[in-house]
Amino acid sequence: MPKYVEINEDEAWAIDHTVRHTYAEAQQNIGRDLLLKIMTVILEFEERRGKPFAPETLPVALTEDECWAVDHQIRCDLTVNNKPVGRAILLKTFRALTEFANDRDSESGVARLGSLADLLRPPAEEMGGGGGVATDSAGEDDERPTDRPPFRPESGPLPRDK
């Protein structure tokens, strides 16, 4: 899922100037697709120039590979039209890359929590052979899993530290 980064016209020109259409990573040409997106943004800025309510920034949907390409190609001291733009581009790219990493961590965290929950469930033979999650309801054939721990009256109250 791409991340949207708002860039102004000078930043778009800086990316166009710096990233090469031949930039490839892992046998995949990243630069050409990125530059097509940037060219579209530049053309949009050009088309809206001088019109009322012309935007100062436009969104660009960047993949993680495109963000890494920008990070690899753009220097923090890059200037366009005597305006420093490199740092601003990199900060926006860093935010997008951080979001990609957080998304990955969240997904793996959910998967890990799911596997931990499976480890915490008692084996079927401990549950009286029913194979489901034990509940305090007597005589019902309801074996739907719940988020509650299994009911074990023999275990007694939990110890408390004093």
* pLDDT digit string (tens) for the chain, length 162 residues: 899 999 999 999 999 998 876 666 666 777 888 999 999 999 999 999 999 999 999 999 999 999 999 998 999 999 999 999 999 999 999 999 999 999 888 877 666 666 666 666 776 665 555 555 554 555 455 566 556 555 555 555 555 555
Total domain count, the chain: 1
**Is residue 151 in a domain?**
no
pTM of the model: 0.64
| 94: in domain | yes
In a domain, 130, yes or no: no
- Per DSSP, 51 falls in state S
10 belongs to a structural domain? yes
- In a domain, residue 138? The reply is no
Q: Which residues contact 9 (CB under 8 A, 6 or more apart)?
A: 42, 45
C-alpha span between 48 and 9 (Å, rounded) = 11
Alpha-carbon gap, residue 57 to 34, rounded angstroms:
17
Q: Give, in order, the Cα–Cα distances in Å from 91 to each of 18, 69, 81, 94.
A: 16, 14, 20, 5
Domain that holds residue 60: 3-113
Q: Pairing relation of β-strands 57-62 and 28-29?
A: unpaired
